[in-house]
Homo-oligomer: A and B are copies of this chain.
């Protein structure tokens, strides 16, 4: 299934500032980049950097005082893995791949060690497996209100569990933290999302089950089949759209995600979906 992504960010810069953008989509066998373009206005020099272990792509630049516009377009072909959730088991720590362990530990915004009591009380009696992570998503969806402006950059899963309000970032953090407290590796994923309304960067999460990372979205705001991976990390600290050192102001942000050519909507070809 092919998608065309556009994202545009416009900043006013008050002092020379360093930006690290993470807006480019990841390139791998499940997500092929057919065409891609990055434009800066003014045309500043920049570094392109990729982190090996998760394929995150970063653009670093120093912007002078004035305006900065970054435009990114990509055409991407997604090959999701679809399967029936019923057959997917949790993996005991003795059999987890070593590279999943970092996603088992608590992180800044997903303090799973502090959520252990709540998780025991709410989810411990559920049948282990894909269905338990799906139940976690249902719990979050039912008990937490999606409310713009209800959280900020310091809000963590611990607070969201209490405030019961947040945005996609907070829903993802809560899902990650709950999974880790059950010894299920879980990580934060920033995506472009087809049919997300209003269009925006989106945040979802992945849990390691069976033999791969499955996608989950407790906000239920867009179909998982249409997620295009940008960044993967322990939590939002790792995959900011823009990490900025300096005094700047975001003036405008425009996102669009469109289907290419094929006329019908994406089929949900299985309850469980993975993009890797």
Contacts and interface: CB of A to CB of B under 8 A. Distances in A.
Interface of A: 18, 20, 47, 49, 51-53, 58, 60, 62, 92-94, 98-99, 101-102, 105-108, 111, 113-118, 120-122, 143-145, 153-154, 158, 161-165, 183, 237-238, 243, 245
Contacts of A93: 18, 20, 245
A154 B113 contact: yes
A92 B246 CA distance: 11
A153 B113 contact: yes
Contact of A108 (B20, B92, B106, B143): B106
A98 B49 contact: yes
A94 B163 contact: no
The number of times this chain is found in the oligomer is 4
Given A49-B98, A51-B99, A62-B94, 11 more contacts: A53-B53, A92-B245, A107-B107, A107-B108, A108-B111, A114-B162, A114-B163, A120-B164, A121-B145, A122-B143, A158-B162
Contacts of A52: 53
A53 B113 CA distance: 25
A244 to B, nearest CB: 9
B117 A164 contact: yes
A22 to B, nearest CB: 10
Contact of A94 (B60, B99, B117): B60
Nearest to A102: B238
